[in-house]
Amino acid sequence: MARIRRRRHTPLLLAPLVSVLLAGHPLVPNTGPRLGSLLETFLPWAGLAVPPLLLFVLLRRRTPVAVCAVLLPALTWAWLFGPHLLPPRDRGADGLTVVQHNVSDENPDPAATARALAAAEPRPDLIALQEVTPAALPALRAALSAGYPHHASHGTVALFSRHPLTGVRPLDVRPAGVDPSWRRALRAAVHLPRHGEVAVHVAHLPSVRVTPAAGLTSARRDESARLLAAAVDAEPLPRVLLLGDLNSTLDDRGLAPLTSRLPAPVHGLAFTWPASFPLARIDQVLARGPRAISVTPLPRTASDHLPLLARVRL
């Protein structure tokens, strides 16, 4: 009899646990298998526990205590992620429209991908790309040359702009022990006709893997994030945009060196990976000085990522 009672109470015991994981995720240890970062990568999905708990309450235990227990994780999720679901109040604000996209080094038609990005509405001012192979770069340039005459590339990252670029140089965010041919970040100053200069950093941080034995292997990505944060600190221009595949979500403490310096967009969950069934936004647009007010995924290309469109207020 006691075992049956415990089973009846188990769903209600899960509700406060979900709330604790949502609100207290920074307290989850990150030593060893980096369970904290793993939880934070998929943190919004913890809200999926709420509907079955609510169904249990409606069907089995319609008591005030049970209802309050289920409302706790629902309210916690709404507090953390609800603002991202609201439309931006200043969507018409004067500023920039930027597109961030990992085009995939296995993309069979990079020119078609480039044309799709350039056709986004509103029209992008900047297009930042990662996993640009030497074979794909000429096709990308040809497809974008008419609308984006200014471009820069370094290694496997590239930036295409409607406005002039100066001060183009590589950024060294290579983790220790990685081959020098690993070149995945650049910096350029964009000259806007009405707003002056804005520094743009384009980056692709190291990938992570999840295995049963090692958990989340993110040490190199975290080291690269710290190096990129140092480049942001050293940037002489006061206004900075960071566009990149950061291989993590903004809740992940591994990106704390960046998120502590560059505020996140206010509106939009905008999951971008994997393109076939997006579970997380690992493509990011962050800003210092300007503010990224909203992010929206664009239709799928031949990449395994969805493109990300961001409105930036200057």
The answer to whether 185 and 157 have CB atoms below 8 angstroms apart is: yes
pLDDT in tens, 270-302: 999 999 999 999 999 999 998 888 999 999 999
List the structure tokens of 272.
């971008």
Token readout for 291 is 């503010």
Please answer whether residues 9 and 69 qualify as being in contact, where contact means their C-beta atoms are separated by less than 8 angstroms.
no
Averaged pLDDT, 92-101: 84
Q: What is the architecture, at CATH level 2, of domain 95-313?
A: 4-Layer Sandwich (3.60)
What pTM does this model have? Answer: 0.90
* Per-domain boundaries in the chain: 2-81, 95-313
Confidence of residue 210 (pLDDT cuts 50, 70, 90): confident
**Digit-coded pLDDT (tens) for 127-143:** 999 999 999 999 999 99
- 126 closest CA partner among 106, 148, 145: 148
Q: How far is CA 5 from CA 1, 2, 13, 54, 70, in A?
A: 6, 5, 12, 19, 18
Q: Please enumerate in sequence order all residues whose Cβ is within 8 A of that of 314, keeping only pairs 6 or more positions apart, or say none.
A: 94, 95, 96, 192, 195, 198, 239, 289, 290
Note the pLDDT tens digit of each residue in 227-262.
999 999 999 999 999 999 999 999 999 999 999 999
How far apart, in whole angstroms, are the C-alpha atoms of residue 204 and residue 200?
14
